[in-house]
Structure 1
Amino acid sequence: METPDGKCGFSPASFEMLRENFNDEVETDRLREAVGKDINEVSSNWADFKSLTDLDELGAEYTCCRDIWKNGRCVWHARENGKDRMFLHRARQPPKDTKVRAPQHRFERLDGVYLKGADLRGIHLSNCTLTGAWLQDADLSDSDLHGADLSNTLWGGVSARNANLGNASLTNIRAGSDENDFSDAYLVGADFSDSRFPHSNFSGATLTGAKMQNANISDCDFSEASVGGANLVCSLMNSSDLTDADFPNSDLTEASLEGCNLTRADFRDACLKDSKLYKATLAGMNINRSTELGNKCYYETTQNDTTADDTPPLEKAVWIYHAYRELTRENGFPSEARHFYIREKDVLRQRTWQRTLLYQGCHSYVPECIQRIGSRVASIPSKILRGLYGFSRRIINLPLYKSLSYEISRRSTRYGESPWRVVTISILFIIVSAILYPLSGIQRSQGTSTITYSSDMPITQVMVESLYFSSVTFTTLSYGNFQPVGWGRGLAMIESFTGALLMALLVFVLARRATW
């Protein structure tokens, strides 16, 4: 397209626009992606670049026909820092064949505009296309950018305080390390997908229905922000401040929130499945029964995950389940709290089994009590002490002991949460003992005949009598109308001791469930 004399002639596909900033990492990557070659291999001649590039895909059909302002470009595209908003306001192009004044016009093409340090306070650019624009250190406070296309723009130190960016497209933006200010901004339905806005300020912003899939918004301030219904799938929000933020109906599946401050944040009806919340502050966080925390956390299902702090995934899982347990208990959901308590204990059991499998002979853990006793008993000869110490190192394996204790607790009481397992074990023990007693024999206290399987009594009557004796022995009632014979006495002693232990355990489990 030929440009009339005295006009800007800027095109988004202009090689000069890309070449002048080839030292910029973002622009270099953009050029390489467009051309498919290294920048040093591309001729500086525009004709050569044109032959190598699909201009239609780069938007070459658009050419700026605004009047030249400085350096051969219009006021929008001239490489001039700190532009005044009045110049920009007057330079708006009215649509063809209309009588609408330029300052009121919408839907304008402003691709590749240069607005570094520009004063854009209160400017109206709604539904405009600003792809590839330079916005570093620009002031967008109180501006209207509703529905604008800001994809692939360059950000850094931008102030968008109280700006209207509703339904705006901010995709594929790589903001610099300077803080961007979105405080109190209207960002309803804005699309931040695949963008990077670390260290930004979103305090008090309205992000209802915003899309932030795969966005990097780590170390940001979201305090008192409203993020209801937002899509934050796979977003990175590590170390961000989300105090008093509202996340109702938001989707944070696989979002990274490690180290975030979620104090008094509202996550009712939100989805936090597989989200990373290690070391996040959950005090006062509001949830309801519709809040999806998932049956298992991310760190338990992805044990091969590598982290910067080298913390084992199972250790992170223990921390998460403990935090979830306290969170659900604080919000009045005892059944969910019991679930996360069981998950916490189950992960602890897995951790101890892992440590047990790593145990190698003399490198086992030595109980601290043995070391303390050994250091204080000076009267024992040193050879005997060393012998006892070496024996303890080979025999006593603390991780194995812990693993077995966790395993027994899991099988018998489900870590103290299942009274039915205690009842089932008790019934099975009574039945097994009832089967064993006739092998040795039980005797009535009023007679001399011994009840065994070989006696003249029917087998059903033998089992009924034996089951009765086993029951009263287990419950330690001992009416005295039966007594065991032979080795059955030892079995009766074991059964009475086990019965007392299991009944005490049942009382403990019932009392524990009542405290949730």
Structure 2
Amino acid sequence: MSGSQNKICSYVNHLGERCHAPTHLSEFCYWHDHATDKSPLDTAEKLEAYAHSGGMMHGIDLKNANLENLNLVNHACSKGFDLTGADLYRANLKGAHLFNVVLIRASLMKANLSYANIHCAHLEECNLLGVKFHHTKIEHIKTGKMIIQEEKGIDLERQGEYKQAQEQYEQAEEVYRNLRKASEQQGLFILSGPYLRKELTMRRFQHPYFSTKRFYSKIVDLFCGYGEDPFRVISFSWLLIFISSIFYYIFGLRFTGEFQVFSLQSSVEENVIFFFECLYYSVVTFTTLGYGDFIPVGYSRIVAALEAFTGSFTIALFVVVFVKKMTR
């Protein structure tokens, strides 16, 4: 009984399932054996046959494998072949068809995906460092909320390992930049926008936590999402208008020669009406319309000057960001 077990591959996946392929030169089968050379020209053809025969694809070792023009599209099922945890380090996947393939927690590090088709591929927690995306079809790929280098960087930073975290952020920036360039190359600007934001965020994380560059980068992100989120500009505008109106409410305004300000001696109705008048004045000041019906006095002048300056800048910024998004 033990002799027959030795003839079966020893690989067990993360679900506790065992590969039932026969062993090759070690305790593992041909596809799970780390020492087996998979550079021959017929490797792609063999892998296709193995996949269609129902062989376990989890964790297969394809380092330096020659998989040019590989066709790994699972036509018999809506779900693609599952290569979770597979190692494709430096694999030649030029011209490969990998539609809807699952590569969760796999490694594509330095793999050549030039002219390949990875539409709808699942790449969550996949190592994409150094991947060649030259003319790669990447529409609807899924990379998750954050790539593996970003996640590692955050964990290392929490542990106080700032130098190692910086290296991970630098790698994450490179990955996001490559994905962004590949998206732009194909005109997939809806896809490239989030990758641009991630790229610049990773660049920000490489700066010291309390530094001018990191602070400035964070402000730009909060203002407009690095030029990719016009709704952030709108949200900031309304927030500034509301906060400024509160200051006017406290410091007071002059209307038709009469000074008005929040007062506990005034009725609730009068205070509520005055607050909405302050809100109206804040909108007028932010948009630099300046009707002249209300006049700031005292500290309200400082608030009005700052709001008018910020408002003119924010409106111009919104136009730039909005036009950028719409022209895509």
Q: TM-score, with normalisation over the residues of structure 1?
A: 0.51
More helix by share: 2
- Aligned-residue offset at 1:510: 0.8
One-letter amino acid of the structure 1 residue matched with residue 218 of structure 2: E
Instruction: Identify the residue that residue 302 of structure 1 maps to in structure 2.
Output: 152
Residue 2 of structure 2 corresponds to 57
Query: Structure 2 residue aligned with 1:313, among 168, 191, 205?
Result: 168
Determine if contact 2:63/2:89 at 8 Å carries over to the other structure.
yes
Query: Offset of 1:227 from its aligned partner?
Result: 2.2
Per-residue Cα deviation, 1:145-203 (whole angstroms, up to 9, x for no partner): xxxx9733339xxxxxxxxxxxxx74554655695442574544417xxxxxxxxxxxx
Q: How does 1:320-335 map to 2 (within 5 A)?
A: 320-335=175-190
1:416 and 2:239 aligned? no
Cα shift at 1:282: 0.4
- 8 Å contact 1:213–1:231 — kept in the other structure? yes
Aligned residue for 1:302, secondary structure, equals helix
User: 1:408: Cα distance to partner?
Assistant: 1.5
Q: Which amino acid aligns with 2:68?
A: S
Q: 1:262 aligns with which of 85, 104, 113?
A: 113
Structure 2 residue corresponding to 1:288, chosen from 139, 142, 145: 139
CA distance in 2, matches of 1:285, 1:433: 50
**Distance change in 2, residues 1:493/1:222 (3 Å):** same
2:23 corresponds in structure 1 to 152
| Alignment counterpart, residue 401 of structure 1, candidates 193, 212, 220 | 212
* Cα distance in structure 1, aligned partners of 2:98 and 2:143: 14
SS of residue paired to 1:443? strand
Aligned to 1:225: 70
The answer to whether structure 1 residue 481 and structure 2 residue 293 are counterparts is yes
Cα 1:271–1:436 change in 2 (3 A) is closer
Query: SS of the residue aligned with 2:295?
Result: strand
Superimposed CA distance per residue, residues 445-497 of structure 1 (whole angstroms, 9 cap, x where no aligned partner): xx432223359793234334333332222211112233222332222222211
Q: Measured at CA, do residues 228 and 443 of structure 1 come closer, stay the same or move farther in structure 2, by a change above 3 Å? A: same
Within 2, Cα distance between the matches of 1:150 and 1:470? Answer: 73
Residue pair 1:314, 1:351 contacting (<8 A) in 2 also: yes
* Pairing partner for 2:209 from 356, 364, 367: 356
Summarize deviations over 1:244-290 as a string: whole Å, max 9, x none: 1111232222221111111011112332222112111101111333x
Aligned to 1:442: 253
Deviation for aligned residue 1:219: 1.6
Which residue in 2 is equivalent to 1:494? 306
Whole-Å separation in 1 of the counterparts to 2:54 and 2:116 = 17
Q: TM (normalized to structure 2)?
A: 0.77
Query: Is this contact kept in 2: 1:154–1:174, CA < 8 A?
Result: no
Tell me the CA shift for residue 331 of structure 1. Answer: 4.1
Give the Cα–Cα distance (whole angstroms) in 2 for the partners of residues 253 and 407 of structure 1: 31
| Counterpart selection for 1:336 from 191, 194, 201 | 191
Structure 2 Cα separation of the partners of residues 212 and 262 of structure 1: 19
1:315-352 C-alpha deviation (Å, 9 max, x unpaired): 11111122222333444543332222222233233322
Q: 1:443 to 1:249 in 2, by over 3 A?
A: closer
Question: What amino acid is aligned across from residue 254 of structure 2 in structure 1?
Answer: Q
Structure showing greater radius of gyration is 1
Q: Aligned to 1:312, what secondary structure does the other structure show?
A: helix
How far the C-alpha of 1:500 sits from its partner, in A, is: 0.8
Change (3 A) 1:179 1:499: closer
- For residues 243 and 185 of structure 2, the distance between their equivalents in structure 1, rounded to whole angstroms, comes to 44
State yes or no: 1:512 paired with 2:324: yes
Distance in 2 separating the partners of 1:268 and 1:328: 12
- The reply to whether residue 253 of structure 1 matches residue 143 of structure 2 is no
State whether residues 285 and 308 of structure 2, in contact with CA within 8 Å, keep that contact through their aligned partners in structure 1. Answer: yes
**Contact 2:38 2:65 (8 Å CA) reproduced:** no
CA shift in 2, pair 1:317/1:187, >3 Å? closer
1:345 to 200, 208, 211: 200
Q: How big is the alpha-carbon RMSD for the aligned residues of Structure 1 and Structure 2?
A: 3.5
Q: What do residues 64-110 of structure 1 show as CA deviations (whole Å, max 9, x unaligned)?
A: xxxxxxxxxxxxxxxxxxxxxxxxxxxxxxxxxxxxxxxxxxxxxxx
Question: How many residues are aligned here?
Answer: 299
- Report if aligned partners of 1:209, 1:228 keep a CA contact under 8 Å in 2: no
In structure 2, relative to structure 1, the CA distance for the partners of 1:331 and 1:152 (3 Å cut) is same
| Aligned-pair CA distance for 1:312 | 1.8
Contact 1:318 1:348 in 2 (8 A): yes
Q: CA deviation at 1:404?
A: 0.7
Task: Tell whether 2:32 aligns with 1:182.
Answer: no
The residue aligned with 1:32 is none
Letter in 1 for 2:89: N
Do the aligned residues in 2 keep the contact of 1:210 with 1:231 (CA within 8 Å)? no
Within 2, Cα distance between the matches of 1:223 and 1:280? 15
AA in 1 matched with 2:148: Y
Query: Partner amino acid for 2:183?
Result: T
In 2, the alpha carbon distance for the partners of 1:418 and 1:310 equals 27
1:93 alignment counterpart: none
1:275: which partner in 2? 126
Q: Which moved more, 1:170-179 or 1:334-343?
A: 170-179
The aligned amino acid for 2:320 is: F
Instruction: Name the counterpart of 2:15.
Output: none
Q: Distance in 2 between matches of 1:334 and 1:179?
A: 36
Q: Find the counterpart in structure 1 of residue 240 from structure 2.
A: 429
Could you tell me which amino acid in structure 1 is paired with residue 227 of structure 2? G
Gapped regions of structure 1 (runs ≥ 5):
1-55, 61-110, 112-129, 133-148, 156-168, 192-206, 358-399
- 1:451 aligned residue: 260
Structure 1 counterpart of 2:60:
215
Structure 2 unaligned residues grouped into runs of 5+: 10-19, 75-80, 157-163
For the structure 1 residues 251 and 442, does the alpha-carbon distance in structure 2 shift closer, same or farther, using more than 3 Å as the test?
closer
1:105-124 alignment runs, 5 A limit:
none
Contact 2:39 2:64 in 1 (8 A): no
